[in-house]
């Protein structure tokens, strides 16, 4: 049977009830999308970008100076002592690993759940994951004191026996978890960018750009057979990244949970840490995107509805974190363990109680405002809340780590911990590294997945035809 | 120059699907369709076989798992057993996290490598064959046809009837 005539126009019209929420404002054509996403890559950076870059690079310089001083002088430049042997560095490590988790959640878990709103934000969230994991990995490295011997944590045949690493130690699990997470995140990020690199290659004006993008785009031509295979690979990588991201923070929590210290030795830690990680990560995504959508003029793609959806996830995970706090206290009361009780009483009323109340206020109470729909779409309020959650989640890790250590079983060992300027400088430096990388990312790589947004726009054409 | 394919350029996704159905129902063969984003119903329309990448991922995962357990058991039980806090040498429960991580690592790397090798993607790979704008906003349907003026005219007319913006006859890509 030969189908010579064109089909009737309404063949693909869907009933209005099946139309989904629209995640793009206005009616951009496919070419508009390419133009809008490429604009930051080809235009000159504005004053706002230079100002932000200057601040970020200065913070990075402070960090570099602090780390150089610490490495050349010794760990004694930190405020650690015999009782509190872990404090600022591990707090920052857990904080930054947690930040990364939202990126994987957005790019992998929401992909599997077929949430269309992830398309506009997934690329920048994945970039955030990679930069955050880089910041996190820095802290155990410098805490080694001799970071040039960091390769000793890897099991390789050596001339010391060979003396192998201890596979029963949660700290070694961390090494494998963080490295796997960084590797898989990088692969996922890069594979996701190949089609966009091809778009950039085909539109590049200067020979240098064309050279770089032809190398990166791996000869991508948009063939339907390749697309089909590509989609299978994306789904597989998403399916692999999902249990991976849960395992990473589970293992991070086991650094504490497998010890016998009151306040750390809790079976609730893995889910509690994973929820907290997603919570803090979404706060950081919101902080970044609220700034970027404004500065890069991408409000059309990162709409108020996107911010609203992220706020809902923050509300959910923030409530889980609040429940976890309550559960810990319930266990301490119900468990009849005097040491456990003393630690939790000390958290609420002891010398670090101010930090505890910042944590409860910022993480458990403040996000409850997000039940109100009007506030979820109010950009200044969302921005303020996202900063509050970032601060609160940093304090959560500080409180868990320091209050459990500084007054443990032996009262004669009790002491206080105060960070030194070098430690504060290193924390500032990690923020500098993170924001410097992110600012370079928005200028050098397409920060919105063009092909995914185009698919959304294309399917919309179809639905309304 | 031989001209054994006809390239039709489209600007809207639904037309592409209709055109592909029509081309195939006429007994013609589609060489390929190039598009700026994946079109799900095209797999069905072009009868593209399901990818076997899941099997590659499984193999990579099993490989990672075996490698991890072999490394852990060889180093901790056979090569140099160390008594750490009285724990058994073969602490299988404690070996699970690293075995899990390396399973994921193996499966993920195998999936990515499988995609690149099977799709022949490599740095400085073949340049776009049909149209530079196929990575921007154009859908290009490439149809095989015999190298005769009559056949070409028929295929071109068919594609134009189905909404092609332009048609062109040329040699087979690659």
Contact yes or no for A60/A429 (Cβ under 8 A) = yes
By C-alpha distance, the chain B residue nearest A252 is B97
- Output the pLDDT for position A3: 47
At A11 the pLDDT is 42
Q: State how far residue A254 is from chain B, nearest Cα, in angstroms.
A: 10
Which range (A166-180, A367-381, A431-445, B160-174) has the least confidence?
B160-174
pLDDT at B174: 45
pLDDT at A39 (0 to 100): 81
For A322-355, the pLDDT digits (tens) are: 999 999 999 999 988 889 899 999 999 989 999 9
Residue in B closest to A211 by C-alpha: B124
Give the residue, A116 or A132, on which the prediction is more confident.
Answer: A132
pLDDT at site A161? 82
Average pLDDT over residues A112-128: 84
Average pLDDT, stretch A44-61?
91
Residue A203, pLDDT > 70, answer yes
For residue A6, the chain B residues in CB contact (below 8 A) are 18, 161-163
Say yes or no to pLDDT of B146 above 80.
Answer: no
Q: Return mean pLDDT, chain A.
A: 87
The reported pLDDT for the residue numbered A461 is: 54
- B109 CB neighbours in chain A (<8 A) are 183, 187
Contact A281, A100 (CB under 8 A): yes
Taking the C-alpha atoms of residue B101 and residue A187, their distance in angstroms, rounded to an integer, is 15
**Contact present, A234 and A293 (Cβ < 8 Å):** no
**Beta-carbon count within 10 A of B78 CB:** 10
**Per residue, what are the HEC states of chain B?**
CCCCEEEEEECCHHHHHHHHHHHHHCCCCEEEEECCCCCHHHHHHCCCCCCCHHHHHHHHHHHHHHHHHHHHHHHHHHHCCCCCCCCCCCCHHHHHHHHHHHHHHHHHHHHHHHHHHHCCCCCCCCCCCCCHHHHCCCEEEEEECCCCHHHHHHHHHHHHHCCCCEEEEECCCC
Alpha-carbon span A20 to A142, nearest angstrom: 49
As a whole number, mean pLDDT of residues A364-390 equals 91
pLDDT the model gives residue A160: 84
Least confident stretch, A217-226, A250-259, A428-437, B69-78: A217-226
Q: Say how many residues make up chain A.
A: 465
A240: alpha, beta or left? (left if phi > 0; alpha if psi -120 to 50): alpha
Per-residue pLDDT tens for A218-254?
888 888 888 899 989 999 999 999 999 999 999 999 9
Q: What's the pLDDT at A21?
A: 55
Note whether B142 and B173 are within 8 A (CB): yes
Question: In this complex, which of A31, A218, A227 lies closest to B122 when CB atoms are compared?
Answer: A218
pLDDT band for position A437 (cuts 50, 70, 90): very high
CB contact under 8 A, A226 and B26: no
Is A172 within 8 Å of B76 (Cβ atoms)?
no
* pLDDT, chain B, mean: 84
pLDDT at B64 over 60: yes
Cα A254 to its chain centre, rounded Å, is: 20
Q: Please give the average per-residue pLDDT across A445-457, as a whole number.
A: 85
Closest chain B residue to A456 measured between Cα atoms? B37
ipTM of the complex model: 0.90
Tokens of B52: 């076997």
pLDDT in tens, A283-322: 999 998 898 888 888 888 888 888 898 899 999 999 999 9
Over residues A120-136, the mean pLDDT reads 90
- What pLDDT does residue A219 have? 83
B10 DSSP β-pair partners: B139
Task: Enumerate long-range contacts of A382-386, CB under 8 Å, 24 or more apart.
Answer: A382/A286, A382/A290, A382/A307, A382/A311, A383/A286, A383/A287, A383/A290, A385/A283, A385/A286, A385/A311, A385/A314, A386/A283, A386/A284, A386/A286, A386/A287, A386/A290, A386/A314
> What pLDDT does residue A17 have?
38
Q: What angle do CA B98, B99, B102 make, to 5 degrees?
A: 85
Whether A414 has a pLDDT exceeding 60, the answer reads yes
């Amino acid at each position: 049977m030969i189908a010579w005539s064109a089909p009737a126009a309404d063949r693909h019209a869907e009933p209005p009830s099946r139309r989904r929420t629209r995640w793009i404002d206005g009616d951009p054509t496919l070419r508009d999308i390419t133009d809008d996403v490429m604009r930051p890559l080809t235009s000159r950076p504005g004053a706002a970008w230079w100002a932000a870059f200057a601040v970020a690079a200065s913070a990075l310089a402070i960090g570099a100076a602090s780390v150089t001083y610490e490495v050349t002088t010794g760990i004694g430049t930190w405020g650690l002592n015999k009782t509190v042997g872990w404090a600022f560095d591990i707090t920052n490590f857990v904080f930054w690993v947690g930040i990364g988790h939202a990126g994987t959640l957005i790019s992998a878990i929401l992909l599997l759940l077929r949430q269309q709103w992830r398309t506009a934000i997934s690329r920048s969230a994945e970039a955030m994951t990679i930069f955050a994991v880089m910041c996190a990995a820095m802290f155990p490295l410098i805490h080694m004191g001799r970071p040039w011997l960091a390769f000793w944590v890897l099991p390789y045949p050596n001339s010391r026996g060979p003396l192998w690493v201890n596979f029963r130690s949660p700290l070694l699990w961390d090494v494998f978890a963080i490295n796997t997470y960084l590797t898989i995140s990088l692969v996922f990020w890069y594979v996701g960018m190949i089609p966009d690199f091809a778009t950039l290659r085909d539109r590049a004006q200067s020979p240098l750009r064309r050279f770089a993008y032809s190398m990166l785009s791996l000869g991508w031509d948009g063939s339907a057979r390749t697309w089909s295979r590509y989609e299978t690979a994306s789904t597989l990588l998403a399916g692999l990244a999902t249990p991976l991201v849960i395992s990473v923070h589970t293992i991070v929590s086991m650094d504490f949970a497998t010890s016998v210290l009151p306040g750390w030795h809790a079976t609730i830690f893995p889910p509690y840490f994973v929820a907290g990680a997603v919570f803090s990560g979404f706060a950081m995504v919101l902080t970044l995107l609220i700034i970027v959508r404004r500065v890069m003029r991408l409000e059309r793609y990162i709409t108020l509805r996107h911010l609203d959806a992220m706020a809902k996830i923050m509300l959910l995970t923030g409530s889980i974190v609040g429940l976890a706090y309550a559960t810990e206290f319930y266990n301490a009361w119900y468990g009849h363990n005097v040491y456990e009780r003393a630690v939790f009483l000390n958290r609420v009323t002891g010398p670090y109680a101010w930090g505890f109340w910042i944590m409860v206020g910022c993480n458990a109470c403040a996000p409850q405002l997000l039940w109100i729909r009007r506030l979820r779409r109010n950009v200044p309020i969302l921005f303020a809340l996202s900063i509050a959650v970032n601060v609160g989640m940093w304090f959560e890790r500080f409180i868990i780590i320091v209050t459990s250590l500084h007054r443990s079983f032996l009262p004669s060992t009790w002491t206080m911990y105060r960070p030194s300027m070098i430690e504060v400088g290193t924390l500032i430096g990690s923020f500098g590294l993170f924001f410097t990388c992110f600012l370079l990312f928005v200028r050098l790589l397409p920060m919105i997945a063009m092909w995914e947004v185009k698919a959304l726009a294309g399917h919309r054409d179809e639905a309304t035809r | 120059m031989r001209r054994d394919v006809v390239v039709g350029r489209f600007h809207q996704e639904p037309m592409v699907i209709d055109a592909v159905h029509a081309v195939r129902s006429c007994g013609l063969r589609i060489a390929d369709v190039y598009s700026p984003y994946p079109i799900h119903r095209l797999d069905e329309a072009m009868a593209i076989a399901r990818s076997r990448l899941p099997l590659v991922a499984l193999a990579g995962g099993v490989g990672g798992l075996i490698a991890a357990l072999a490394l852990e058991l060889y180093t901790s039980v056979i090569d140099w057993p160390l008594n750490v806090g009285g724990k058994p040498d073969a602490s299988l429960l404690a070996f699970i996290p690293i075995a899990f991580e390396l399973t994921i690592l193996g499966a993920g790397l195998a999936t990515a490598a499988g995609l690149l090798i099977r799709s022949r993607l490599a740095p400085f790979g073949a340049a776009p064959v049909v149209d530079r704008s196929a990575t921007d906003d154009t859908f290009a349907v490439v149809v095989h046809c015999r190298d005769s003026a009559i056949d070409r005219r028929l295929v071109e007319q068919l594609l134009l009837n189905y909404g092609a913006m332009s048609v062109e006859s040329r040699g087979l890509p690659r």
